[in-house]
Amino acid sequence: MTGALDGIVVADFSRVLAGPYATMLLGDLGAEVLKVERPGAGDDTRHWGPPYAADGTATYFAGVNRNKRSLWLDLSSPEGLAEARALALRADVMVENFKPGGLARMGLGYETLAAENPRLILCSISGFGSGAGAELPGYDLLVQAMGGLMSVTGPGAGEPTKVGVALVDVITGLHAVYGILAALRHRDRTGEGQHVEVNLLSSLLSAMVNQSSAYVAGGVVPGILGNDHPSIVPYAVYATADKPLVLAVGNDRQFRSLCTVLGIAGAADDERFATNPSRVAHRAQVRTLLESALAADGADRWHHDLTAAGVPCGPINGLDDAFALATSLDLSPVVGVPGSAVPQVANPLRLSATPPSYRLAPPPLEDA
């Protein structure tokens, strides 16, 4: 099968995570991705290990750089800049995450390139935009802190905690992909490319959805609730006789079923617990009620019985169990790449006519 983006050439001038993740996803859809790297050193993430894959590749690099070919270009030399310019002028899409203005100072800014290649789509990824925040360093941890994510994440008040993965980079990479796809659609209609800009801070504020809306529309500055949800109860982690169990009860009908399975059916009629707003107002009492009942047996039994009753719940898995679960559900979470012994995490898209493909392993440094 041909990919949805077959024939599209992507010049990838990005490094580390947000940009490389975006270009890998484009490559999965069939685009030809040419990854520009520093001679002899390459992308910083080539050296971010351990852990390493069986072939010695840093697993960080391997996770976001399949379906690409690597090019060594010294952008500090006239020859390297000339090659970079030639690549940009024949590309459909160019992705970069230099500091805002960095490309323009090298003669590779959008206006300069578009004058010769008006079909070019240039996607620029930054930490804080190209205006007053242009000089601020765009690191995921900084944006988790400065963008408010850490202020609502952690075990309790006064203990702000980062998310366990560079989530802001990933979210920004996804925004970059849909911006590029929208620009390609516009080009299909008009023949004109455009400059796509996305930044980590704006991507995070958008992705914090209900928490951001609580502030913008309601004037509420959310705080840390641990594993509790600000607007839904019970929607958290609860103790059982042996190990924790997640309950994700989204409506009053599910709460009534929960109480029935736990042998406390009358609690669903208690005015403190009968509706979600009343449960939110009495979240501590809800926890005491539920954990007293859950203490009668272990998490596995409750998971079985509650799931059978239509109550959303589940264990807290490690990644080993999470991949085993996805495999048991026929989601095929791990894929191979021809000619490579290094397994890859599958692209989550399922497209009936133009599915993602896995053609090239992450390029080794010596092939750059």
Distance in angstroms (rounded) separating the CA atoms of residues 303 and 314:
6
Dihedral sign from CA coordinates of 64, 152, 240, 263: negative
Distance in angstroms (rounded) separating the CA atoms of residues 260 and 238:
17
CA 333 to chain centre: 16
Distance in angstroms (rounded) separating the CA atoms of residues 182 and 188:
10
Residue with tokens 């390297």: 80
What residue spans of 154-199 are helical by DSSP H? Answer: 167-190
Smallest Cα–Cα separation from 174: which of 208, 216, 231, 125? 125
What is the token pair recorded at 196?
A: 């796509």
Distance in angstroms (rounded) separating the CA atoms of residues 203 and 21:
15
From 28, 43, 92, 169, the catalytic residue = 169
Neighbouring C-beta atoms of residue 354, cutoff 10 Å: 15
Distance in angstroms (rounded) separating the CA atoms of residues 357 and 368:
22
Verify whether residue 74 is a known catalytic residue: no
| Active site residues per annotation | 169
